[in-house]
Structure 1
Amino acid sequence: MTTPQPRTTRPADARAWSPPLPEAPGFDHLVVETPGLRTHVATVGTGDPVVLLHGFPEHWWQWRDVAPVLAAAGYRVLCPDLRGAGWTTADDAHVERETRLRDLLALLDALDVDRAHLVSHDMGAITAMQLCYEHPDRVRAAVELSVPPGFMRPSPRLLPGFRHLPALVWHRRGASLRGIFSSTYVAHPLSEDDIDAHLAPMGRTEVDAAVRPLVRHMVLPEATRMMRGVYRRRRLTVPTLFVFGRRDRPWTEELMGQVCRAPERHADRAELAYVDDAAHFITDDAPAAVAALSRDWFDRAA
C-alpha cells in the first residue's frame, strides 16, 4: 500500500473562491493538498521562508499589511488558513489539541520548508508554541502576538484575558462574531468592510462548526497545561519575542512582568515587547510596528 503523496496546485483564478477572497494586492494563492486536508495558502515574496499563523476569527487576510513588508525585506512569506478557518477544507472535522500542529508539519513538508521564521497571533500562537517546543529544529525565530508565554505563572489577575471564551465554548452556529471586534479588543475601530472581510469564511458551514471544537479541544486543554506549569518545566530553545499592545487588557507590561519574571529560567532567549496605541488585534491596529519588530527580531536572533 503506497502512502499518499502531498501535491501542490495553484487555482487558475483567485476570484473563483467561494465566498470570494478579500482583496489584497501582490499575493499568490495556492491549495496545498496533504492527506485529508486542502490548505489555502496566500504567498508573497521570495527568500528565506516566514510563516504567519492567523488568530481567531481571522485567516490569511489578517496579514495583508504585514506580509508585503516582510516580503520587501527579502522573505518568502506564507500565510496559511489553518484547519477550521478561512478557505481550507478538511475531510474530517475532528480536532484535538495538536491537530493543527500536525497539519502545519505536513504543510511545511509539502512546501519543502525545512526551517522557517514564525509569526503568530491569538489562536495561531498555540500552534506556534507547540511547534517551538516539540520541533524546535523547524523554527529559526518566533514572534508571538497578544498571547502570553507558555511558561507564565498563573494569577487571578489574568482571568479577564479569558472572558471571551464562554461564548465560544457554547457558540451557536450562525451566531454573529462581530462583537469580537469591539473597542475592548481593538484600539482603532475597524470599518464594516474590514470586519466583513475577517468574518467572510464564517459563512462556510465547516468554519462555523469548527468554533466549538477548536476552543474545547485545543484552546482549553492548552490553557490548562499552561496553568498547570507544563511549560515551566520545559525549556524553550527557539528565540521568541512576545509582543503585546499596551491597550490589550489584562496583558499589561506590569502584569506580564510579574507572571513572566526571569524568563531566562525557562527559555534560552525570550523577550517581551509592547506596542503603543494597539490592543488585542494588533495586526489591524499597528501592522507597521508588527512588521518592524518581526524583522528586527529575525535579524537579532540570527
Structure 2
Amino acid sequence: MNTPEPRDTGLPTNRRASPPEWSPPLPDAPGFEHFAVETPGLRRHVAMIGDGEPVVMLHGLPMHWWQWREIGPRLAAAGYRVICPDQRGFGWTEDDGARLEPETWLHDLLTMFDALELDRVRVVCHDMGAISAMQLAYAHPERVRATVTMAVPPGFMSFSPSLFPNFAHIPPLMRHRPGAPLDWLFDEQHIAHRLSDEMLDAYLSPYARPGLDAAIPELYRRVVMPLVLQMMRGTYKRQRLMPPNLFVFGDHDGAFTEDRLRRLCGDLSRYAEHAELAFVDDARHFVTDDQPEAVTELVVDFFDRVG
C-alpha cells in the first residue's frame, strides 16, 4: 500500500525525498515508514522503523526490504532504529543503468551512509546482502560496530566440493530470462515453511517493473561470481575480519551443516577478532522467514554482548 508523508525521523531533510507513489504498491508492514533517498545515479527506496542506534538490514535475492517485516519491529522494540534499503536492482530502488562492478553495492552503501549521516552502524544481512556487508567490514571496519550474516559462510572459510549443492541455484539464475518465474527459489530445499501465494507475490511483485529481472544474470556474472572466486582463492584468509560477526544458518540448510561448517572454518580466531557461528532449529536458507523470532533473539543477544 502507498504510505503517507512520514513524521520527522531525524534523517537529513536535504537528502530525504518525499515518498513517491510506489509502483507496484508496497506490501503491508505495520510501523514502517518509507523514503526515497537520492544519491548520484540512484533513487533508493528505504523503509525504516524505530528510534535509537542504527541497524542497517540488507536483503537477499529475490527479496527486498519486506524480508525484514517481522524482524525489524522486534529490533525496534529492543531500542534500535532499523533501516532497510532496497539494493540496486531490487525492490523499488531506481538506478541509472550504469554497469555493475564487483564493488558497486559497497559504493552504494557508503553513499547512503553519508546521505543519512550514519557514522558507524550495526549490519544484519542475508544471502546477497552479505556481499556488500562483507566488503564493508573488511575495507571500512571503522564504519561497522558489528555484523550478523545469515545463510552465507565466512569469507575465510575453506571451500570443499561437498558445498556445491548449496550453489546449485547459480547456473539457472545466470541463464535467467525476463518474465521467467522466480518462485522456484522458495522450494522445499530452501525454506522449511512454505510461503503463501500472497507472501510470494509480495516478494516477487517488483519484478513486473521493466528490466528488473533482466539484470539478474549480469548481477551474478559481475558481482556474485567474482566474490565466490575470491573466497575460493583464499583472498579473505589473507585478511583479518575486525568487526564482530555472527554467522547464522538454518539447521537444515542443505550442505551447510553445523559439523561441516565448523570443520571448514576451523579456528575462527585465526581469521577474525570476534566471530561466532549459530544454527537455528527448523529452518533452511530463508531462515528469516522460517524463524523470525529466533533470528531476532540471536541478533539482539549478539549486539548486546559485543556492544
Give the alignment's TM-score, normalised by structure 2. 0.94
Question: Aligned Cα RMSD in Å?
Answer: 1.1
For residue 212 of structure 1, report the CA deviation from its aligned partner: 1.0
* Secondary structure in structure 1 of the residue aligned to 2:212: helix
For residue 58 of structure 1, report the CA deviation from its aligned partner: 0.1
1:105 to 105, 110, 113: 110
Q: Which residue of structure 2 aligns with residue 128 of structure 1?
A: 133
Q: Which residue of structure 1 aligns with residue 291 of structure 2?
A: 286
Q: 1:84 touches 1:206 (CA, 8 Å); kept in 2?
A: no
Structure 1 residue runs of 5 or longer lacking an equivalent are: 1-5
Q: Which residue of structure 2 aligns with residue 152 of structure 1?
A: 157
Which amino acid in the other structure matches residue 118 of structure 1?
V
- Does residue 75 in structure 1 map to residue 80 in structure 2? yes
* Secondary structure in structure 2 of the residue aligned to 1:26: coil
- Does residue 11 in structure 1 map to residue 19 in structure 2? yes
* Secondary structure in structure 2 of the residue aligned to 1:147: coil
For residue 7 of structure 1, report the CA deviation from its aligned partner: 2.1
1:125-166 CA-to-partner distances (Å, cap 9, x unmatched) read: 111100100111111000000000000001110111110000
Which amino acid in the other structure matches residue 11 of structure 1?
P
Number of residues paired by the alignment? 295
For residue 290 of structure 1, report the CA deviation from its aligned partner: 1.1
Q: 1:26 touches 1:44 (CA, 8 Å); kept in 2?
A: yes
* Secondary structure in structure 2 of the residue aligned to 1:210: helix
Taking only the aligned residue pairs, the percentage that are identical comes to 56
Q: Which residue of structure 2 aligns with residue 62 of structure 1?
A: 67
- Does residue 227 in structure 1 map to residue 232 in structure 2? yes
Q: Which residue of structure 2 aligns with residue 204 of structure 1?
A: 209
For residue 93 of structure 1, report the CA deviation from its aligned partner: 4.0
Q: Which residue of structure 2 aligns with residue 47 of structure 1?
A: 52
For residue 81 of structure 1, report the CA deviation from its aligned partner: 0.0
Q: Which residue of structure 2 aligns with residue 183 of structure 1?
A: 188
Between stretches 272-281 and 288-297, larger displacement belongs to: 288-297
- Does residue 236 in structure 1 map to residue 241 in structure 2? yes
- Structure 1 runs of 4+ aligned residues shifted over 3 Å read none
